[in-house]
Structure 1
Amino acid sequence: MDERQLFSEAVLPHVDDALSLARWLTGNAVDAEDVVQEACMRAFAAIASVQNTSARAWLLAIVRNTAFTWIAKNRPKTVVTTDDTALFEQAGIEMAEPQASPEAMLIQKSDAEQLHLAIAALPLAYREVLVLREIEGLNYQEISKVLSIPIGTVMSRLARARSSLIQRIGMAAKGKAGAA
């Protein structure tokens, strides 16, 4: 099998997942596209080392490393923000039921924005584990490979991320109730 065919079979089916992870790590769609493009070039250069059973985890590890390299090169170390309003709108629209009232749609959109902001506010180590597990659907072993950390660390970071997320959303809900 030649390199192009191997790349097409091993990498291309996972490009959407790679883009999703890059968007979460970089904070916006334009930067994510740059990261995924660079990651695909790196993946093609190393295509001989891929094993079909772990192609997704292999690609996501490359995307993660590429994103961190890109962020270090293009952003101050203390600032990682999101300006991808289309992502917020998309999340609100996808979650809304077709027959929902305008009020229900507004509440769902607000909840989606609140969740997105709460995830974005997590420390990077917790955010990446949470995104890989809950959004990308990777299992603990795959996350361990992508992040090059022990499975126990994956589990503890995920538990802390979920706990922190619950606290942040709970505090935001209390703030809304107090304002009403």
Structure 2
Amino acid sequence: MVKISDCEHKTDSELVALSLKNQDYYYCLMKRYESPLINYIYRLSGMNRMDLEDILQEVFILTYQNLNEYNANFKFSSWIYRIAHNYTISTMRKKTNYNLSISWDEYDLEQLLQSDLNLENNVIQKIDYENLLNLINNLPLKYREVFLLRFVEGKDYQEISDILQKPIGTVGTLINRAKKMLSQKIEMDKQVQKNG
């Protein structure tokens, strides 16, 4: 059995190559991506813990089954996030009574607010966390997914393009529209609170 400590200094590409020869190394990749992927899947879908674990397990199985198809010219993280994204969206579509309801902890929100989201600081500071969560959760899926990948997961435009399989220009447009939509919704909330 491979120890996690044996894998800490290895790159994803090295671990993929080792996993193709010895499946025990795949455990290192799973441990490396377990937490980030479950957080991403949760933020994207808002599903309960049991469903999240089922999705994550399927993502790891699909990833392992297709490991020999991984192209080392791309980041492994982009590839596994794309698999997670596609499987999550597919699962969401299959659920007939799907209802998005996401709660984030304060740490996540502080990180989000400190990211390069170009909303005026005074506007963001005047809106409470719960309202901000509602605004993010109510973004249409195509905007919410790019928003999460960019500002919560910290992915660059190229990685988002690889994950969503959309041109970089489209990714940039979606991010800008998501930011604009959030900014407008925040301003509307601000006006309602001011007049209310």
Which of 73, 78, 82 is equivalent to 2:94?
Answer: 73
Q: CA RMSD, aligned part only?
A: 2.3
* Structure 1, unaligned runs of 5 or more: 96-107
Which of 55, 62, 78 is equivalent to 2:76?
Answer: 55
Q: CA deviation at 1:64?
A: 0.6
C-alpha distance in 2 between matches for 1:171 and 1:20: 29
Match of 1:38 in 2: 58
Alignment size in residue pairs: 160
Match of 1:16 in 2: 35
Match of 1:165 in 2: 182
Q: 2:160 aligned with 1:134, yes or no? A: no
Match of 2:117 in 1: none
C-alpha distance in 2 between matches for 1:81 and 1:68: 12
Match of 1:102 in 2: none
Which of 142, 149, 154 is equivalent to 1:125?
Answer: 142
Q: Is the 8 A contact 1:35 1:67 kept in 2?
A: yes
User: Structure 1 length as normaliser, TM-score?
Assistant: 0.78
Question: How many percent identity over aligned positions?
Answer: 28
Q: Is the 8 A contact 1:57 1:143 kept in 2?
A: yes
Higher helix share goes to which structure?
A: 1
Secondary structure of residue in 2 paired with 1:138? coil
Q: Cα gap change, 1:3/1:151 in structure 2, threshold over 3 Å: closer, same or farther?
A: farther
Match of 2:194 in 1: 177
* Structure 2, unaligned runs of 5 or more: 1-17, 111-124
Match of 2:106 in 1: 91
Q: Is the 8 A contact 2:44 2:148 kept in 1?
A: no
User: Structure 2 length as normaliser, TM-score?
Assistant: 0.72
Q: CA deviation at 1:162?
A: 0.3
Q: Is the 8 A contact 1:43 1:59 kept in 2?
A: yes
Q: Is the 8 A contact 2:150 2:157 kept in 1?
A: yes
Q: Cα gap change, 1:125/1:69 in structure 2, threshold over 3 Å: closer, same or farther?
A: same
Q: Is the 8 A contact 2:37 2:81 kept in 1?
A: yes
